[in-house]
């Protein structure tokens, strides 16, 4: 039975072990940052407009994307996960 390549990356987490040099490479989703892993995040103007979860975080196991107004006060709190964001220059 032949499986599509995307199914192999999902169904074979052991494929990424160092003992298997011929194993599949990590997909973009596996390289993504874990969402809601911290309670406080420092962000810069390069991260604006700010959203939680931030770009690069895995969205499939988090809450819906919400934009946070941080420009005026320099601080914002996510209404879903209570993560706090501080804006640094």
pTM above 0.75?
no
pLDDT, tens digit, for every residue of 5-63?
A: 655 454 444 444 455 444 444 455 445 666 666 789 999 999 999 999 988 787 767 88
Whether the link from the prior residue into 53 is cis, omega within 30° of 0, is yes
Phi-psi group of 41: left, alpha or beta (phi > 0 → left; psi -120 to 50 → alpha; rest → beta): beta
Task: Give how far Cα 54 sits from Cα of 6, 20, 37, 84, Å.
Answer: 24, 32, 12, 12
Q: Residue 57 has what pLDDT?
A: 80
């Amino acid at each position: 039975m032949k499986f599509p390549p995307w199914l192999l990356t999902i169904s074979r987490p052991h494929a990424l072990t160092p003992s298997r040099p011929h194993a599949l490479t990590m997909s973009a989703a596996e390289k993504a940052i874990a969402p809601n892993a911290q309670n406080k995040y420092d962000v810069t103007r390069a991260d604006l407009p700010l959203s939680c979860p931030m770009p690069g975080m895995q969205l499939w196991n988090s809450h819906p994307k919400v934009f946070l107004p941080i420009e005026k006060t320099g601080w914002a709190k996510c209404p879903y996960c209570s993560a706090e964001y501080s804006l640094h220059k």
